[in-house]
Amino acid sequence: MKIAVLGTGSGARAHIARLAGLGHEVHVGTRAPRATLARNEPDMMGTPPFGTWLAGHPGIELHTFADAAARGELVINGIDGRNAVAALSGAARQLEGKTLVDYAVPYVYDPDIEHPWPTPWGVMPTFDPCDSDSLAEQIQRALPATKVVKAFVTQEQETVVDPEAVGGGDHTMFVAGDHADAKRAATGLLTSYGWTDVLDLGPLVAARGMEMYAHLHSAIGFALGFGTRFGIKVVR
């Protein structure tokens, strides 16, 4: 299948590598491909430059957001939450009629707000939008001809693409959206990643809770020790 991954961060890279390994034709989108490839320093999180990473993953094509979206039959949004609506709006025509799986968290990092307890972040992020709206709903409103599915967001992307790495895969992934066929496509992708428990939470409004779970997810991660991989299982 032709799949577009928009974004070049560590989460996007997890999907790109896994999708290529599964035999898909992967098209990666970035704002300005030349600038992305020209970068030769790790980012502030220590992630190596994308060009370096790409050199070790032959057969992956890098395009603009719009060109990658045009080539994908299914599209994964890995653009950071602050920029997602604007960047995706610029590819609205190329995304028409397609399933867009969004895993972005609408974090606002205010460097002036120190974290109330020591964490690897040093700052206390908040969300915008939050509670009465969600990023996924904003994207759906901005792209009414696209079928937005919120998924992946309750987990590190490295574990989304490799659920067996935690508890032998015995944990739960969620999907939400207003288009049943798009949720089936996202669930099919998750099944191919190895997920056995994918819970459909209903319409896209459920994305609010999925995005807002990020605070609890972070707190659990800090409690277990930074870098510890974990998952959430809905026991019933």
Position 38 contacts a second copy (CB under 8 A): no
**Which of the stretches 27-35, 75-83, 181-189, 196-204 binds a second copy when contact is defined by CB under 8 A?**
196-204
Locus of tokens 């969600």:
134
β-pairing verdict for 107-108 and 126-127: antiparallel
Site for a second copy in 145-184 (CB under 8 A): 154, 166-167, 170-171, 174, 176
**Which of the stretches 30-38, 57-65, 85-93, 226-234 binds a second copy when contact is defined by CB under 8 A?**
226-234
Q: Binding residue for a second copy (CB under 8 A) from 2, 126, 164, 226?
A: 126
Determine whether 11 is exposed, middle or buried from the number of CB atoms within 10 Å of its CB (0-12, 13-18, 19+). Answer: buried
Three-state DSSP class for residue 72: coil
CB 212 → a second copy: shortest distance, Å? 4
**Which of the stretches 24-32, 50-58, 141-149, 225-233 binds a second copy when contact is defined by CB under 8 A?**
225-233
Single-letter code of the amino acid located at 165? A
Position 210 contacts a second copy (CB under 8 A): yes
Determine whether 228 is exposed, middle or buried from the number of CB atoms within 10 Å of its CB (0-12, 13-18, 19+). Answer: exposed
Both tokens of 152, joined, read 């992946």
Determine whether 152 is exposed, middle or buried from the number of CB atoms within 10 Å of its CB (0-12, 13-18, 19+). Answer: buried
Q: Binding residue for a second copy (CB under 8 A) from 53, 57, 162, 230?
A: 230
Both tokens of 32, joined, read 């300005």
Position 196 contacts a second copy (CB under 8 A): no
Report the interface residues with a second copy, using CB under 8 A: 116-117, 124, 126-127, 130-132, 154, 166-167, 170-171, 174, 176, 199-203, 205-206, 208-210, 212-220, 222-224, 228-236
